[in-house]
Amino acid sequence: MKKTLIISTLLVLCSCGQETKQTKTALNTITRDSTVVSPSSATNGKINHQTIEKEIIDRNKNQDLLTNEMQKAKENKILKESFLQEMYAKKVVTISNDSIVVNIPFNLHGPDCGAPDCYSNDIRFSFKLKDKLLFPMNIRFTEHENGCVEKEQKLLGSFQLVEENSNHVIYYSTKYKRTLVLFSTDKRNGTSAFYFTGLEKNRITGQNVNNIKKEYNEDDKNSIYPFTSSALTTNKY
């Protein structure tokens, strides 16, 4: 009887031990599974969030590019149909943000063969671009004389609009006695711009500006000839 009781007790203990071991194994399995699944879900959520953010950023970039292209097309159309269309085609006139920038290298200083001189008087100015081209009454400008000169010079001055029509625009600087003439076409004078130094105001007008080159006489000390630019006399666009 005692032997039977001892054997029964041992069987119960073994059974309990196996159940305890199985229970621990099951708990460990659940714990391991939970540990593996949880980070995976978090990672997937993070990736999805990053993907959405990237899509939003890309969409905004595309919208900005489209807006810029539309604005650029509008600006191009204004200039291509404006007084400055030839200068714009020859890259002397450009657009920077909301402004027109004019940069003319006057590197022809006399009635020679047309080859650029070794020095240049570079004129640069800018003004706001609106829905249509409007020349301001006053423009701040810089003149940079550079090249084969003893000493480079830079001037900062102001042009005043003295005459304007559909064929030409004339600006004058009282302080430096500079005259800038812009033409809407190069067909009549072979260029789109003249530049004069040392002349009094109204020495160049719409009455004589188109005859200056034709009437030039090198033997006449009072005869004048404009600075011109090789960038505006070439036919290459």
Query: Tens digits of per-residue pLDDT, 140-150?
Result: 999 999 999 99
Q: What is the pLDDT, as a whole number, of residue 26?
A: 45
Q: What is the pLDDT, as a whole number, of residue 198?
A: 96
Tally of CA atoms within 13 A in the half-sphere of 107 that contains its CB: 18
**Segment among 20-29, 50-59, 145-154 with least mean pLDDT:** 20-29
Cβ(2)–Cβ(10) under 8 Å? Answer: no
User: What's the mean pLDDT when you consider all of the chain?
Assistant: 80
Cβ(192)–Cβ(167) under 8 Å? Answer: no
Does the model's pTM come out above 0.75?
no
Query: Tens digits of per-residue pLDDT, 85-109?
Result: 999 999 999 999 889 999 999 999 9
Tell me what the mean pLDDT of segment 47-53 comes to.
69
Q: What is the pLDDT, as a whole number, of residue 23?
A: 45
Closest CA to 164 of 138, 135, 141, 190: 135
| Structure tokens given for 36 | 């593996």
Distance of alpha carbon 179 from alpha carbon 131, whole angstroms: 28
Q: Is the per-residue pLDDT at 4 higher than 80?
A: no
Distance of alpha carbon 151 from alpha carbon 19, whole angstroms: 102
Percent share of the chain, pLDDT over 70: 67
Tell me what the mean pLDDT of segment 50-73 comes to.
60
Query: Tens digits of per-residue pLDDT, 183-214?
Result: 999 999 999 999 999 999 999 999 999 999 99
pLDDT class for 12, splitting at 50, 70, 90? Answer: very low
Q: Is the per-residue pLDDT at 172 higher than 70?
A: yes
Choose between 179 and 57: higher pLDDT. 179
Tell me what the mean pLDDT of segment 29-48 comes to.
55
